[in-house]
Structure 1
């Protein structure tokens, strides 16, 4: 990144931090904003340790207040390859089992990358804090190898599976200028209230696939979608 761009990013972050005043949240930008369609710049020293720590804390507060299970820096208007993730899990044991949705402690991912592990793909409904009011089914690799650094600079290199892998992929899409709608089965697109009325109770969107006319990945694997 050029010195000029680094200065612009640093100024954007400091204005956002000033507006939040140490305890507030940041506005989440919505689909149609150019920052959601641009590849993020690598984090390579544009921010000092204090500004980075404050930005991470702001992202954590914003994600939790939304509420959501992940937030990428571009979603608050900052074009840096930085994301936070956290999932408290779900109370329904069957949903948790089928979706492989275990509790995911809070994590910071700096300059993350991933690659699929194995051939299994699973399809579930996803939403996005930057596309309010809608959800759609997205087929994604069930397991991925995640490489990144955490906020302290320590190396992250591990395989994540199930819902955690879905969260990681969703947030990393944001860092590439991609929205979940770009990968979605568009016939599955549902207003959030309609999804709740018709399909939210189903661990796998099998009935939705039949009624709305879209395909789910086959064959089913652990945590995967059943065949139509």
Structure 2
């Protein structure tokens, strides 16, 4: 897959990854690194190397393009992820999905817990599962804790689409792919979603494909 040897120390593996210019290679479903989970970040990378790695994650996420990227997706088993969403969507989609712009943010050792019992279901995709989307029901609001790249504490409630993004990326750090939580009957190619299921909500897809919504 073009990723550094699993046997090398993490700092050496990250240095090797960053030796090449441009976006990093995103590993895809079937690569064990996506399923092993991660170790908490506790200074395994010196501050300069961490900053370079975070920048590489940003470049790779934007190039893909995506709204989030977790370290395991580039072969690094550290509890680090980045998110960013300019949310260039029509107003009806913004309202239905609660999709509002999110600035670039770094999540170090993130964990989330639901806030309330409400759940929301929408089509979701993943850079590590290219070409496909499926409907995932997730908590509509979550409390996210952790740190930023400077070690400052993070304790924030996310709602709407931002809540979905932070859940998706934090799941990656636990070895969980969105497909593990998806309605299997909803699985659709990007083409099918664009041609058939581009509505703001997946209600029509649920009726036609035969899967439940919360």
Q: TM-score, normalised on structure 2?
A: 0.96
Aligned residue number for residue 220 of structure 1: none
Aligned residue number for residue 222 of structure 1: none
Which stretches in structure 1 are left out of the alignment for 5+ residues? 218-228
Residue 91 of structure 1 is aligned with which of 77, 89, 92?
89
Aligned residue number for residue 15 of structure 1: 16
CA contact (8 A) 1:122 1:141 kept: yes
Aligned residue number for residue 206 of structure 1: 203
Provide, for residues 87-133 of structure 1, a one-character-per-residue CA deviation record: whole Å limited to 9, x for no partner.
Answer: 00133001001100000010000000110000000000000000001
CA contact (8 A) 1:70 1:171 kept: yes
Provide, for residues 41-100 of structure 1, a one-character-per-residue CA deviation record: whole Å limited to 9, x for no partner.
Answer: 110011000000000000000000000000000000000000000000133001001100
Aligned residue number for residue 56 of structure 1: 54
Q: Helix, strand or coil for the counterpart of 1:216? A: coil
Aligned residue number for residue 138 of structure 2: 140
Provide, for residues 148-197 of structure 1, a one-character-per-residue CA deviation record: whole Å limited to 9, x for no partner.
Answer: 10011111101010000000000011000000000000000001111111
Matched, 1:153 2:148: no
Q: What is the 5 A alignment of 1:84-123?
A: 84-123=82-121
Query: For residues 175 and 6 of structure 1, what CA distance do their matches in structure 2 show?
Result: 19
Q: Helix, strand or coil for the counterpart of 1:197? A: helix
Aligned residue number for residue 3 of structure 2: none
Distance 1:6 1:44, change over 3 A: farther
Q: Helix, strand or coil for the counterpart of 1:187? A: helix
Query: For residues 6 and 113 of structure 1, what CA distance do their matches in structure 2 show?
Result: 27
- Give runs of ≥4 in structure 1 deviating > 6 Å: none
Residue 168 of structure 1 is aligned with which of 166, 169, 172?
166
CA contact (8 A) 1:6 1:46 kept: no
Aligned residue number for residue 221 of structure 1: none
Q: Helix, strand or coil for the counterpart of 2:183? A: strand
Distance 1:153 1:92, change over 3 A: same
Residue 213 of structure 2 is aligned with which of 205, 216, 221?
216
Aligned residue number for residue 131 of structure 1: 129
Distance 1:6 1:156, change over 3 A: farther
